[in-house]
Amino acid sequence: MSRFSQTDPELTHRLTRRGMLGVAAGTTAAALLGTAAATAAAAPGTASATDTASRGAGRGRPVLPPGRLGIQLYSLRDKVSTLGFAPVFAELEKYGYDEVEFAGYTQGSAGPITLAQLKRLARNHGLNPIGSHVGYYSNDPGAYTFAQNLTKVLDDAQALGLKHIGTASGPFRYGSTVDAWKRAAEEFNTYGAAAKARGMKFYQHNHSEEFSFATDNPKVRLYDVLLAETDPDLVYLEMDIFWAYSGQFRFSKRPDGSAAPFEPLDYVLKQPHRYPLFHVKDGVSDPTNQYGYDMVDVGDGDIDYKRFISAVTKIRGQRFAHHWQAEHDNPTDSLTFARRSSEHLHSLREKC
């Protein structure tokens, strides 16, 4: 039996990402669309959400680089799988988003859609498809994953015009030993080389488990093995800020109890070119939670992603070199989450 419970949020998040979007929500599409419109539309004579945020932001340079706010569509999977991409993209355009990161290319009960239509739809709403999450491997020989269908995965990414194509799966295919991760790293290098040949970057998105220790050498952090064994010109990283700080909470000590503190931001500051993408998500500190935080909407917690974004965007003048995707694994209302996240992130200002 898995060491994760069936209701474990991190395991659920990793597993459900591997499939295409398509699980219908419990309410009707018409009702959801009405909710979306009511949430997003401003009354006559009022400002849009982003206009209000920018006017109320105060003085100082924006923390968020202009044109770089995206959203991971996994956060909106319930709306995509019932309403379809078109109404969701229309709302994201109203909220001031610039980019989207895919978690599948289907739209469930909303009906079929081609990649060409999806690409055109994003463009028509001013949204740049920046990346996509695809599974690493599966026990199903015909699965849509990097291991089973690398050519198809890259063909689809190229058809959408993506600059990044990655996975939210951890490198645990062969286990949690140092050699197991070296073996996974070799495969990641292969995927990275194939992506580079297509003009794309292959990347891996972390959860907290990546910061655990090797079972055969408890002094070695597995994330360090991944960084050391992958070619920096072929394999890139998407740091999920929430899960990185969850990892800091969970794995600040080695299995023998000795101290092993680390700061997630330091990984990025040491190799900024390897982190083109980030997930911005928030959490309320909760030591009783095994992950250290209760995930909340961006702006409602106490994870200092403002300091994180500010530090990264100032590296060597690379203010425009990174992409920031808002995300919540299980928001109470996904469109409300998307709207509030955009308002909050656009309102952040550096101190004068």
Task: List, in order of start, the domains of the chain with CATH numbers.
Answer: 59-347 (3.20.20.150)
Structure letter (DSSP) for residue 198: T
pLDDT attached to residue 110: 95
Q: Residues 167-189: what's their mean pLDDT?
A: 98
pLDDT band at 38 (very low <50, low <70, confident <90, very high): very low
pLDDT band at 320 (very low <50, low <70, confident <90, very high): low
pLDDT band at 11 (very low <50, low <70, confident <90, very high): very low
pLDDT attached to residue 60: 84
Mean pLDDT taken over the chain: 86
Over 50: is that where the pLDDT of 24 sits? no
pLDDT band at 351 (very low <50, low <70, confident <90, very high): confident
pLDDT band at 352 (very low <50, low <70, confident <90, very high): low
- CA–CA distance, 334 with 190 (Å, rounded to integer): 36
Position with higher pLDDT, 272 vs 315: 272
- Report the run of H or E that residue 91 belongs to, with start and end: helix 85-95
DSSP string covering 265-332:
HHHHHH-GGG--EEEE-EEEE-TTSTTSEEEE-TTSS---HHHHHHHHHTGGG-TTS-EEEE--SS-S
- Report the run of H or E that residue 205 belongs to, with start and end: strand 201-205
Position with higher pLDDT, 313 vs 352: 313
